[in-house]
Homo-oligomer: A and B are copies of this chain.
Amino acid sequence: MTTTDAVPGVPRVPRRPGADARLLADFVDLSAIGATAAGGVERQAATPDDGRSRAWLAAWLTERGFTVVHDRVGNMFGLHEFVPGAPYVLAGSHLDSQPRGGRFDGAYGVLAAAHAADRLRVHYRDSGETPRFNIGVVNWFNEEGSRFKPSMMGSAVFTGAMPLATALDTPDAAGVTVRDALQAIDGLGEADVFGTDRRVCSYAEIHIEQGRELDKTGTTLGLVDATWAANKYEIAVIGSQAHTGATAMADRRDALYGAALAVVAVRELADRFGEDLHTSCGQLTVVPNSPVVVAREVHMHLDLRSPSDDLLAEADALLRRQFAEIEVKADVEIERRVAHTWKGHLYQPAGVELARTVTEDLGVSSMIVRTRAGHDSTNMKDVVPTVMLFIPSVEGISHAEAEFTRDEDLCTGVDVLTETLARMLDGALAPE
C-alpha cells in the first residue's frame, strides 16, 4: 500500500479545470426536481419528488463507477473502494426538504460530497497513489422530519440512536408509514450496508449555515465545534367541544385559547433568556377546527434550543410552571405526550483542527461556529470522528424558498471538503 502524507501548506488534491462549472450545472439540474415557483424545492421525505432526486443522484454516482446501495431505513450510499476491505470515510447530507423549503439545505451537502468523492476517485486513479481508506457518499433519509417525525431519522437508525422498527412504523399525517413510503419510491434496501464486513471510520458533512454569523462577518467557511442542545415535545391541550356563539364564556374549556397562551408563553421564554435560547411552535393542529365550534383539542410541537444544557433545563422547568397556570386560566389540561431531547455536544476537536488547517492551507477565511439546527453529523459524531463545515447563507435565511448561497461559496465549499476528505483518506482523524 502506497500512502503519501500531506505536506503542511500544500493541498493534497490539486483542482482540475472546469470543476466549478460542472458543480454549478449539476446543482441547477438537481434543484429542478420538486422546484417551486419562488426558487425553492419541495421534496419531503419519500415523496415522488424525493424519489426523483434520489434517482438522479444514483444515476450520477453509477455513471462515475460508484456502487449505489440502500440500507433498511432508506439511507443511500455511493461507495468507491480503493483498498479492498478497508474502512470507509463517509461524506454526505440529505436530499429531502421542508415543505416549500430552500434548494441548498441538505442537497448542497450531498452534491458537494459526490463531487469531492469523485475528484478523489479521479485523483487516485490518475496519480497511481492509494489512500488508507475507501470513500463513500451518503444521502441520509428524512433529515427534515416534516412528513415523518422526528427529524434526522436515517442517521439516527444508522448510529443506533433509534430502533429500525420504530422508524419504519412511523406514519405521516395520512397514515402512510415510512416503510410503505420508501417502498413506493423503491428506496428501501434489504440489508445493512455497514456492519461486520464494511465499516465507517470517519464522517464529514458540509451544509449552509442556517444562521447569519458567516454572512455577517464575511467569512467563507464555518468550522462547527458544537451543537446546541434541543428539547422537542408534542403536547396536547384538552378542553371541551362547545358552540362558539351559544356557550357562555365562563362555561368554556377552549383548547385553542389554552394553546394560544402556550404559544405566547413559549415565545416569552425566549424574550426572557435572551440570545442563548431559541423557542418555537411550528406545528399546531386544532380539533375539530370548525369556525363555530370551540376546540376540544389542540396538538402542538414545541422546540426549545440552547447552547447550554443547564439553561435549557431551567427554561423547561419554567415552562412547566407556566403550563400549570395556563391549565387553570383556560380550564384545560395540558398533556406532554412525546419528547425528544438532544444534549448539547462537542464535535471532536481534532476534526475542527483538521478543517481549520485545510482552510488555512487553501487560503480560505474561516471561523468557529456552533450549530443551532440539528444535522445528520449530530448523530454521526457520536459514533465516529466527524467534521462539520458550514458555508454562508445570505441573511441566514433557511427552511424557506428565499434561502440563497453564492456560487463562489458553493465552489469553495467543495474545495475545502475535497481536501479535508483527502486528508481523512490518508489517515487524519483515524486512530494510529
A248 at interface, CB cutoff 8 A: yes
Q: Is the CB of A260 within 8 A of B254?
A: no
Segment touching B, from A19-27, A162-170, A190-198, A239-247:
A239-247
Chain B residues within an 8 Å CB radius of A151: 291-292
Chain B residues within an 8 Å CB radius of A93: none
Q: A205-235 toward B: CB 8 Å interface, digit per residue (1/0)?
A: 0000111100000000000000010101000
Complexed CA–CA distance, A282 and B294 (Å): 5
Segment touching B, from A72-80, A114-122, A262-270:
A262-270
A365 at interface, CB cutoff 8 A: no
Quick one: copies of this chain in the complex?
Answer: 2
Q: Is the CB of A264 within 8 A of B260?
A: yes
Q: Is the CB of A278 within 8 A of B244?
A: yes
Complexed CA–CA distance, A431 and B398 (Å): 70
Q: Which of A255-295 contact B (CB under 8 A)?
A: 256-257, 259-264, 267, 270-271, 275, 278-286, 288-295
A149 at interface, CB cutoff 8 A: yes
Chain B residues within an 8 Å CB radius of A349: none
> How many chain A residues touch the partner (CB < 8 A)?
72
A251 at interface, CB cutoff 8 A: yes
30 A-B pairs, CB-CB below 8 angstroms? A98-B288, A98-B292, A99-B293, A100-B241, A145-B292, A146-B290, A151-B291, A210-B246, A210-B247, A212-B251, A240-B402, A241-B401, A243-B399, A244-B278, A244-B282, A246-B396, A246-B399, A247-B396, A248-B275, A249-B271, A249-B275, A249-B279, A260-B261, A260-B262, A260-B264, A260-B281, A284-B286, A291-B303, A292-B399, A296-B400
